[in-house]
Amino acid sequence: MPVSNVPFPSGRVAHLRARVSAAVLGLLCVAGAGAADYRIDTVAEGLEHPWALAFLPDGRMLVTERPGRLRVIERRADGGFALRAAPLAGVPPVFASGQAGLFDVLVDPAFAQTGRLYLSFAHGTARANHLRVVHARLGRGGLEAVTPILTTQPAKTHAQHFGGRMAWHADGTLVVGVGDGNLERTDALRLHTHLGKHLRIDRDGGIPADNPFVARAGARPEILSIGHRNPQGLVRVGDALYAHEHGAKGGDELNRLEAGANYGWPITTDGVDYTGARVTPYTRWPGVTPPLTHWTPSIAPAGMAWYDGALFPAWRGSLFVAALVERSVRRVPMTGGTPGPQEVLFTELGERIRDVRSGPEGALYLLTDSAQGRVLRVVPASAD
């Protein structure tokens, strides 16, 4: 089945219709096993390096822009979408340089009662910066009662490897991925620093009493897991938390997070350094939790979503992984916590994909990573 009617629009609305087969998109699964007819519509455009997307109960969407803006997309009466011209007021100052900026936005599960949002972002200066998480109340004019609840320690220099993805643990606590800073790699294995870890905190920043290192002298009590390079995908599926992270030249990983587990960086990796030099001779090591799968060469995994919606029955029970370098989204079917043959999707866009989210109505949403980034919506080709 050929790719057909795939314009690359410059207008306000894009209708990219793709009747896609495994052979055309170079899928990694058996031809036709996961193929779906879909259409890609542009929801919003002109966004500067959009990083994350969240859905509000009333149908509005929130989008972060890496330079430090939080934008609102509203649903029109005719069923379409409109990007509100002015960003929301009240976003705290963001250190925006290189990879640093405003990252994730997460909606409180009790938003209807609290009106609360959570933001993660780079805080500080080039000489001394941190990953910071705040919660705030969404008011009519913007954010109110902005309160920091996590500031990673110690301060680091430069503007690389912040991590920044957030997700709700099954018990209602907050999990945050933190990159290794790309300076002293072995910090990812050292317990005195937050770098290269996943952290777990209460919704107001407190320390859960059952965190794995909470009683360890000299350890940061927020640490949930260690040995991560630059995690930028995090999603909960039932009681399980899945995370992915960037390797260097290869060695991108998909992991299931377990409290107290060591995921190996930089002692184990399936990749090499950007120069081609070996980071380590080991891909596996006793006591290190191996990845569920790895991508070598690198696809540069960014956001991630779990799909269990009604619009695409063939895609249910899958993780969707946004890929910057591959300019695609990987569909990773999961059976009993084990990844199956993968499907490479949306390469016809030819764009770096920063985030992928499953919408409440069953559509998939994509964020394209550019100075003129877009929010895209994937629906069945036959949808109205």
Catalytic residue, from 49, 130, 135, 161: name it.
161
- Give the angle subtended at the CA of 332 by the CAs of 286 and 227, to the nearest 5°: 30
| CB contact set of 45 (below 8 Å; sequence gap of 6+) | 12, 83, 372, 373, 374, 375
Measured distance CA(156)–CA(259) in Å, rounded? 25
Residue 66 falls in which region: left (phi positive, over 0), alpha (psi -120 to 50) or beta: alpha
Secondary structure string (H, E, C) spanning the chain = CCCCCCCCCCCCCCEEEEECCHHHHCCCCCCCCCCCEEEEEEEEEEECCEEEEEECCCCCEEEEECCCEEEEEEECCCCCEEECCCCCECCCCCCCECCECEEEEEECCCHHHHCEEEEEEEEECCCCEEEEEEEEEECCCEEEEEEEEEECCCCECCCCCCEEEEEECCCCCEEEEECCCCCCHHHHHCCCCCCCEEEEECCCCCCCCCCCCCCCCCCCCCEEEECCCCEEEEEEECCEEEEEECCEEECEEEEECCCCCECCCCCECCCECCCCCCCCCECCCCCCCCCCEEECCCCCEEEEEEECCCCCHHHCCEEEEEECCCCEEEEEEEECCEECCCEEECHHHCCCEEEEEECCCCCEEEEECCCCEEEEEEEECCCC
**Catalytic (active site) residue 246:** no
Enumerate the active-site residues.
Answer: 161
